[in-house]
A and B are shown apart, each in its own frame.
Chain A
Amino acid sequence: MRTVLILFLFIPFAAHSQESGKFEGSGTLQVGLRTTSSLFGDAGYSGFGTGGQFRLRLGKRLNTEWFADYILTDIGGLGRRADGHIGWSVMFYPFSTGEKKITPYFLAGHCFDYTRVTPFNTLVKDNSGQSQQRWSSATQMGLGAHWHITEKFDISFSAQYMIHLGKDLHYHIEEVNGIKELQMAPPHDDATLEGHLLLTASLNIRIADLW
């Protein structure tokens, strides 16, 4: 929640956005940094992460985004979940917005993911051998908008739902002798679907016009 509030502090940028500019050029290459919140996962805890991306625009209505994210989730103060995403999305612009400050888009894509869940040690118990990990692949789909601050710089906001297909990593919180602990279920190879919502704010700079 605090992160969302911080992002809203950036609203003054809007007042200084330029009125016109060419934002539809094919062949533009952008690099950017991103901040991502992971919400509504199966376990109900929200995560926060950082990452980077580059974008290569293929046409007036079509862009591609290639990204990597590193997201950490605090599991009730009893353990942590680390997620690494590396993937790509295709962005489709439904409207012609060459001279406007806001450009909405749809996006869809794929990614590969690494997840590791680690229960914290307690003062009397070493849980370091309890970590579990998995590789999975995912597909994502969502909505977003670029906010053009200048011709070379935009802030983009997106919301996408990502569904992972991979081995089930199941954990739950249990109270043992009055002390809460994160308990990992025994690992098994059954595949399962697991989804979460990703809210991303990214800061992007156009560095080249390739064609």
Chain B
Amino acid sequence: MVKHIRTLAILLVLFAVGKSNAQEGKQYIHKGLFCARGALSYGKMFELSANQIYLDGNIEFYLDEKVSLRGSGYWFLSSFNGKTPLKLHHSLFAGPLYHFKTKSSFDPYIGLEPGINLGQASDPCFGDPCLQTLLPYEMEMVATPLISPSIGFNYYGQKWFHLWLSARYIAGRFMDNYNSASLNEFRISFGLGFNIN
């Protein structure tokens, strides 16, 4: 699964870079451009050693040729290939993106987005084997502040559609009624987006 995602991501980057080099001209993005995107997202959590799958949706509005505002939501679907430390792990991010000037439809950007996570651990030991609890336990659902630098690109090949890829690092610390753990994670999403000019 991870290999397939990596291969697809590399192909998308190569496709977009190749096309952008071939089409010199005017920068495509402009004030008032509105985009909506949806995709499945892959996440790799570091301290909790989990592979995660999310449903990712975001909307973006361009204030001008350099700055846009993006709001992103990640709905946690499941963990795979290993342990399941978290039963619930949804997150929201919002913030501005800075777009580098190009002379084509290729639109690379960087961003820094504060966010919030709504999480609930699977058990008191985050899915690791641990001592059997002597008491019945109920895991608390908690909100965790996050910060996320991101990098990515859009490629506006058509009037209504574009290709997009977004990668982000997420930093935050989860604390419920039993334990604490780092939520640090790398996430990548890509797919087809819709835009209104």
Select the residue from A50, A51, A126 with max chain B CB neighbours within 10 A. Answer: A50
Q: Note all chain A residues with C-beta closer than 8 A to B137.
A: 121
How distant is A41 from chain B, measured CB to nearest CB, in Å? Answer: 16
Chain B residue with minimal CB distance to A152?
A: B63
Please measure, in the bound complex, the distance between the C-alpha atom of A51 and the C-alpha atom of B145, giving whole angstroms.
8
How distant is A200 from chain B, measured CB to nearest CB, in Å? Answer: 11
How distant is A4 from chain B, measured CB to nearest CB, in Å? Answer: 10
Q: How many B residues touch the partner, as a band?
A: 35 or more
How distant is A194 from chain B, measured CB to nearest CB, in Å? Answer: 20
The listed residue (A16, A34, A203) touching B96 by CB distance below 8 A is A203
Binds B, one of A55-63, A70-78, A101-109: A70-78
Select the residue from B67, B134, B172, B175 with max chain A CB neighbours within 10 A. Answer: B175
Is B100 at the interface (CB under 8 A from chain A)? yes
Number of interface residues of A (CB under 8 A): 39
Q: Mark A13-50, 1 if CB is under 8 A from B, else 0.
A: 10010000000000000000111000000000000111
Q: Note all chain A residues with C-beta closer than 8 A to B184.
A: 2
Verify A50–B147 contact, CB threshold 8 A: yes
Q: Note all chain B residues with C-beta closer than 8 A to A3.
A: 147, 171
How distant is B98 from chain A, measured CB to nearest CB, in Å? Answer: 6
Q: Note all chain B residues with C-beta closer than 8 A to A70.
A: 116, 143, 145
Please measure, in the bound complex, the distance between the C-alpha atom of A2 and the C-alpha atom of B143, giving whole angstroms.
20
Please measure, in the bound complex, the distance between the C-alpha atom of A51 and the C-alpha atom of B146, giving whole angstroms.
10
Q: Note all chain A residues with C-beta closer than 8 A to B147.
A: 3, 6-7, 35, 48, 50
Please measure, in the bound complex, the distance between the C-alpha atom of A128 and the C-alpha atom of B176, giving whole angstroms.
11
Given A16-B98, A71-B145, A153 and B67 contact (CB-CB distance below 8 Å): yes
Verify B112–A205 contact, CB threshold 8 A: no
Verify B130–A123 contact, CB threshold 8 A: yes
Please measure, in the bound complex, the distance between the C-alpha atom of A200 and the C-alpha atom of B124, giving whole angstroms.
32
How distant is B119 from chain A, measured CB to nearest CB, in Å? Answer: 12
Please measure, in the bound complex, the distance between the C-alpha atom of A2 and the C-alpha atom of B172, giving whole angstroms.
10
Verify B114–A13 contact, CB threshold 8 A: no
Verify A150–B144 contact, CB threshold 8 A: no
Given A6-B171, A7-B112, A121-B124, A49 and B133 contact (CB-CB distance below 8 Å): no
Is A66 at the interface (CB under 8 A from chain B)? no
Please measure, in the bound complex, the distance between the C-alpha atom of A80 and the C-alpha atom of B175, giving whole angstroms.
7
Q: Mark B106-140, 1 if CB is under 8 A from A, else 0.
A: 00001011111000000010000011111101000
* Chain B positions near chain A (C-beta within 8 angstroms): 63-64, 66-67, 69, 94-96, 98, 100, 110, 112-116, 124, 130-135, 137, 143-147, 149, 169, 171-173, 175-180, 184
A-B contact pairs, 26 of them (CB 8 A): A3-B147, A6-B112, A6-B147, A6-B171, A9-B112, A13-B98, A13-B110, A16-B100, A33-B114, A35-B145, A35-B147, A48-B147, A50-B145, A51-B114, A74-B175, A77-B180, A80-B175, A118-B177, A120-B175, A120-B177, A120-B178, A121-B177, A123-B124, A123-B134, A124-B134, A149-B67
The 3 closest A-B pairs by CB, nearest first: A50-B145, A80-B175, A50-B114
